Structure 1
């Protein structure tokens, strides 16, 4: 069952509500205009224009900063002055015209780039004239690929949905909208294939989105924190991506994409542990190269998680596992170090994280200088000052390099947090502590779910069918069935024909 999210600050939320916003519109132009002006006239960018239509006085209200003035002049004002009478929907050559019944609808649509057309008989029509200034879709900088589609999402929801529609030309592709936020509502959409996606999954996603009760949301990351199954778990349970082809691939496997207006990131549900080690290039390169890269990512996961803890356990408890040729080198590097291995590792990890955060927030030319010069200068200085051993510098550097192999940033952040826990256990209990902490992590992963899907599928399955596109990446002609992880509905005809399956390929 989805959790219910309620904002405990009820009084604070109600203070944001515009007074009388649920009141139905009144019967006269003067009363309606007075009601709206009392609420919104304090804005310097709020404009009003008087017009004559159907032998009566009408008013056009809008925010100058939200609308396209050329659309207002050429497609609203000029047709009204020219025709002078008739139906509003037939006179104004704009497709999106809505007649509203309450002031809440008026305020909400005005804030979304609509003009309010108030007639003398009390009717109010909302006319879309929104100014659209958006950047062109481009390849996401944090998800670059060697081969394949270069299109990525932008901050405009309509443009993003247009990209998906053009990529998946299927009449079963379904888009549902939600309005989330009490003070400032945001438009949220879910995208799925109606004939493929499991109905219980669709209902579960809708229920969790509808249960969100907050003042406002700023991005898809806010949605992720509200609807995930285990908010206290360090492991990500929802996959975030800015790539069109990645979203399209998951939709065709029976999953659901969640998108927020104003955010370029799409959320994919449900996902499993192995999904965070797959990237788009896995399907653009040959299967053997893709398998090698995927295995390399899993090796990076193991090294990032265990290497610093393994080194601490070895030098603290288990010197006997070090080859005899290296014992004296390791021992000599530790002789003059005043700190225990755990403090050495913790200090270097903190320095590495500070350099990483500085590189993210500084301009690119300065960030590169900070990363290279800072790493060299600090690394050389701490070794010469006998604060950190040479071996520890090597261990932390190798760990940092392997962490960059992991395709998704969310999983990389998780490993950096859990890695500290492994180092603490290795400091006090050696290998025994590492094994114990590993067992705890594995039990936690076995217990986790993502929207009803076990987190460790297909690793925990008893058969090997699910491994063809999880730990490994088999040739495309062997991937002749959709993954069962998202429990997709059965189709009348799978995308891979029986002829292709039995054409003699081995």
Structure 2
């Protein structure tokens, strides 16, 4: 027996002019911005249905005046609009919600749909969260069509493939799966399609909901997908053989599969010469190590291992903690939590005030707690260096992970010293070794080891050496370029 929606659909298909009007009005009875206009066209009753907040008013007026009412000079305006004729009630309602005008007259059993949706409201600008020094300065916006336009403007490839899905029985959020059909591993495309189509929810609140639904291990602290607003970063990922998800209503593109080393790469690495780019990338890995272990190293030295530092430094550190009422763990925890509070306050407040809070708050609190004898001055330096190091990473997801990882290490260091730090780092490494991103080992190409892919991990070799795509992605076309410096061979150099 057909359900209520199916009965309504069948009734709509077989209904007369007045019945179709009644069904459409009932469908949108709860939408205050739904409107309909009845008028006569050549002595024929006609009606328009649309959602006022989703259409371009100028196109609506031109359509009505120039075509239906026969204004001279505008008879062919309708030819410039995307037109569809259908009797499917579901398609009609979805199209009206998306920004189309539905036209019905009493002599036709079908409804014509005209796409007159509003253009995107936000202009294209550089993402504030992923600023770079050199390279393209455009970024994705909240319109899926605009984002695809931006991507195609960066990548003119006839093999660029798009697959669309709708997720959410209520929101019907539109998602585009983007890849290059003759490069990507087909098994990866099938896998991501399977994961997306298996999502059964009534609405998608944010892209994070999709990320948590499709990532391999939601209980791992390490991110397994990359979010980005940069079309140039997406283009590079697609050309390597990765898959990108674009979500309507979100400026974030989701790149997968990725590895641990992907989070340390920035578009600036490829817009500058390889030697300074390699130096900066190594600096990022060093900053990551500092952000994770420096506070726990301080706790371990103060509590267990004075012998590992020079005598002069040991005396300075001992003098700095004389009179401090808290053990090293509590002392470090108080400062780290204070820094996190200042950082979060700076993000939530308006930009000019947020910068002031970060600078003034850090200086005032740091100076006050040292003068009050609550915190040692050496710890203030340690916490400040740790905070600066955590900002060096180009990926916000990995930065958030690094900020959280130092807290369990601080507890381990307070109980077991360097042995506790070693144990904590070993647990992290084991977690990294077992992780996968869409079936790709998270530590590729280090584990499993592949020397050919090391050219773009910890170091960044010259671009003319990038002749092969990453082997761990198993692309259909392994070769990326024949020879970037062919001129040298032609001249016998």
Tell me the TM-score normalised to structure 1 length.
Answer: 0.91
Aligned residues: 486
Match of 2:444 in 1: 457
Unpaired stretches in structure 2, ≥5 consecutive residues: none
Question: Separation in 2 of the partners of 1:409 and 1:91?
Answer: 48
Match of 2:31 in 1: 43
Moved more, 114-123 or 241-250: 114-123
Match of 1:368 in 2: 355
Question: Separation in 1 of the partners of 2:121 and 2:404?
Answer: 37
Question: Separation in 1 of the partners of 2:242 and 2:43?
Answer: 55
The answer to whether the Cα contact below 8 Å between 2:176 and 2:245 also exists between their aligned partners in 1 is: yes
Alignment match of 1:184 (pick from 121, 146, 171): 171
Show the 5 A alignment for 1:57-456: 57-82=45-70, 92-120=78-106, 121-456=108-443
Once the two structures are TM-superposed, the CA of residue 319 in structure 1 deviates from its matched residue by: 1.5
Match of 2:20 in 1: 32
Post-superposition Cα deviations, 1:52-91, rounded to whole Å, max 9, x if no partner, equal: 457632211111111112111213553122299xxx9x98
Question: Separation in 1 of the partners of 2:254 and 2:281?
Answer: 22
Question: Separation in 1 of the partners of 2:443 and 2:492?
Answer: 31
CA RMSD of aligned residues (A): 2.4
The answer to whether the Cα contact below 8 Å between 1:188 and 1:259 also exists between their aligned partners in 2 is: yes
Aligned partner of residue 99 in structure 1, secondary structure: strand
Question: Separation in 2 of the partners of 1:499 and 1:326?
Answer: 52
Match of 2:44 in 1: 56
Post-superposition Cα deviations, 1:257-300, rounded to whole Å, max 9, x if no partner, equal: 11111111111011000000000000001100000000000001
Once the two structures are TM-superposed, the CA of residue 219 in structure 1 deviates from its matched residue by: 3.4
From the superposition, tell whether residues 329 and 42 of structure 1 become closer, same or farther in structure 2 (CA, over 3 Å). Answer: closer
The answer to whether the Cα contact below 8 Å between 1:46 and 1:62 also exists between their aligned partners in 2 is: yes
Question: Separation in 1 of the partners of 2:193 and 2:410?
Answer: 41
Aligned partner of residue 257 in structure 1, secondary structure: strand
Unpaired stretches in structure 1, ≥5 consecutive residues: 1-13
Question: Separation in 2 of the partners of 1:362 and 1:458?
Answer: 41
Once the two structures are TM-superposed, the CA of residue 150 in structure 1 deviates from its matched residue by: 1.1
Match of 1:11 in 2: none
Once the two structures are TM-superposed, the CA of residue 415 in structure 1 deviates from its matched residue by: 0.7
Aligned partner of residue 111 in structure 1, secondary structure: helix
The answer to whether the Cα contact below 8 Å between 1:269 and 1:450 also exists between their aligned partners in 2 is: yes
The answer to whether the Cα contact below 8 Å between 1:75 and 1:94 also exists between their aligned partners in 2 is: no
The answer to whether the Cα contact below 8 Å between 2:242 and 2:256 also exists between their aligned partners in 1 is: yes
Question: Separation in 1 of the partners of 2:250 and 2:280?
Answer: 30
Moved more, 328-337 or 191-200: 328-337
